């Protein structure tokens, strides 16, 4: 069971409205399979979405946790599927100097996404602040034990919605129908995750230095390149097709320390672990500019707080791509230009 203390109740006014609508609905001619006189619970939407800070309009029929899909991020994954529907994406270092994506879905649930890959211990600090459920191909035994020890639910092959694409080569052929996954993870709670980031508006953004291009170098065989085009940041070396890429309103770079997860992958590489706790430098790219500050997390389960020398840093509401770039001493680097 997910720890309830990390979920917050929906506004009372919205809950009351939902109850009023249910009470005044009259005859139900929807063809529901529910017994006569038993109304199906329908969770009211939150006022804002926790993974984007954007206004939530209407209501949602699917009362599911935030789903975090572990997605491959190598050329073998091309074309990635469903990335453009994510609320937020986090990029993390894995073994061999490559990266993997944690794609977050909550405000909208697409169909098929993937390729779905395995978990890492780094995911504890990434997923637990919003009490999410990981959609994954599995993980090493030590990783699974740590994920379970952190009380993070996960679903994997053999669960509802998972399938193999025979036109692709394993292990890059596992995909998940998130509609089926979301249905299977409904919990009947009128609640929402905590805000993942300190959301604000464009007026809160204090960036002044021009930054229309940036490169996040993970210190191995992969760098992620961004270009500010048409009001959004475009990942110019994405493995997603042009019509299904993640359109970032902001790119948030957090410099992190990297440790050793304590085991080797099948190729004999040491598996790194992102230390997503404590504090470090932060760079917020928005509207073709950059704001410098610091990030802080008291515990792995804590939300991220951001600050500058002048006070708090807020991320303008929208779709954000978070780059967990290793600190310089671990080989990582961030460069940007006008």
Q: How many domains does the chain have?
A: 2
Residue 22: inside a domain = no
How far apart are the C-alpha atoms of 177 and 76, rounded to whole Å?
20
Q: Are residue 184 and residue 309 in the same domain, yes or no?
A: no
What are the backbone angles phi and psi of residue 196, rounded to the nearest 5°? -75, -35
Q: Are residue 146 and residue 222 in the same domain, yes or no?
A: no
Residue 268: inside a domain = yes
Last-in-domain residue among 141, 166, 193: 193
**pLDDT at residue 319 greater than cutoff 90:** yes
**pLDDT at residue 43 greater than cutoff 90:** no
Residue 116 is part of which domain span? 67-193
Q: Are residue 222 and residue 307 in the same domain, yes or no?
A: yes
Last-in-domain residue among 138, 168, 193: 193
**pLDDT at residue 293 greater than cutoff 70:** yes
Residue 32: inside a domain = no
CB 27 within 8 Å of CB 12: no
Give the pLDDT of residue 250: 98
pLDDT tens digits, 47-64: 899 999 999 876 554 588
Last-in-domain residue among 141, 158, 193: 193
Q: What is the CATH number of the domain that holds 167?
A: 3.50.90.10
Residue 121: inside a domain = yes
Q: Which residues of 263-282 are buried (b: 16+ CB within 10 A; e: fewer)?
A: eeeeeeeebbbbbbbeebbb
Residue 169: inside a domain = yes
Q: Are residue 151 and residue 213 in the same domain, yes or no?
A: no
Q: Are residue 159 and residue 208 in the same domain, yes or no?
A: no
Q: Are residue 83 and residue 131 in the same domain, yes or no?
A: yes
Tell me the mean pLDDT in the region 257-268.
88
Q: Are residue 272 and residue 293 in the same domain, yes or no?
A: yes
pLDDT tens digits, 166-199: 999 999 999 999 999 999 998 776 678 899 999 9
Q: Which of 218, 239, 222, 108 is nearest to 172 (CA)?
A: 239
Residue 48: inside a domain = no
Give the pLDDT of residue 182: 94
Give the pLDDT of residue 39: 36
**pLDDT at residue 22 greater than cutoff 50:** no
Q: Give how far Cα 271 sits from Cα of 11, 45, 227, 313, Å.
A: 43, 39, 30, 32
- Going by the DSSP 8-state scheme, the letter that residue 219 receives in this structure is S
Structure-token match 């917050």, residue found: 8
Q: What percent of the chain has pLDDT over 90?
A: 75
Structure-token match 């090493």, residue found: 140
Q: Are residue 142 and residue 244 in the same domain, yes or no?
A: no
Residue 17: inside a domain = no
Residue 53: inside a domain = no
Q: Which residue has the higher pLDDT, 58 or 137?
A: 137
User: Structure pTM?
Assistant: 0.86
Q: Are residue 101 and residue 177 in the same domain, yes or no?
A: yes
Q: Are residue 214 and residue 128 in the same domain, yes or no?
A: no
pLDDT tens digits, 195-247: 999 999 999 999 889 999 999 999 878 999 999 999 999 999 999 999 999 99
Q: Are residue 71 and residue 125 in the same domain, yes or no?
A: yes
Q: Are residue 187 and residue 128 in the same domain, yes or no?
A: yes
Give the pLDDT of residue 268: 84
């Amino acid at each position: 069971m997910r720890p309830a203390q990390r979920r917050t109740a929906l506004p009372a006014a919205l809950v009351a409205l939902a109850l009023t609508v249910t009470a005044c609905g009259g005859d139900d001619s929807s063809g529901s399979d529910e017994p006569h006189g038993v109304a199906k619970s329908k969770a009211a939407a939150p006022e804002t979405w926790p993974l984007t800070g954007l206004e939530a309009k209407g209501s949602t029929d699917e009362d599911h946790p935030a789903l975090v899909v572990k997605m491959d991020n190598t050329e073998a994954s091309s074309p990635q599927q469903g990335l453009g529907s994510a609320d937020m994406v986090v990029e993390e270092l894995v073994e061999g100097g490559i990266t993997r994506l944690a794609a977050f879905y909550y405000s909208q649930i697409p169909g098929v996404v993937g390729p779905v890959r395995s978990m890492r211990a780094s995911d504890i600090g990434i997923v637990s602040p919003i009490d999410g459920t990981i959609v994954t191909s599995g993980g090493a035994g030590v990783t699974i034990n740590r994920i379970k020890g952190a009380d993070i639910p996960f679903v994997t092959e053999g669960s509802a919605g998972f399938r193999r694409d025979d036109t692709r080569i394993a292990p890059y052929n596992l995909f998940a129908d998130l509609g089926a996954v979301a249905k299977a993870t409904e919990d009947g709670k009128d609640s929402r995750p905590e805000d993942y980031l300190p959301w604000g508006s464009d007026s809160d953004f204090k960036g002044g230095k021009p930054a229309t291009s940036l490169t996040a170098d993970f210190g191995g065989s992969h760098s992620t390149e961004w270009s500010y085009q048409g009001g959004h940041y475009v990942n110019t070396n994405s493995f997603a097709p042009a019509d299904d890429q993640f359109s970032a309103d902001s790119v948030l770079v957090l410099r992190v320390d990297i440790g050793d997860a304590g085991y080797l992958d099948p190729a004999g590489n040491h598996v790194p672990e992102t230390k997503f706790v404590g504090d470090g430098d932060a760079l917020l790219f928005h509207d073709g500019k950059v704001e410098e500050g610091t990030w802080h997390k008291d515990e792995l389960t804590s939300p991220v707080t951001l600050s500058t020398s002048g006070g708090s840093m807020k991320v303008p509401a929208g779709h954000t791509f978070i780059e967990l770039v290793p600190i310089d001493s671990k080989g990582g680097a961030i460069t940007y230009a006008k």
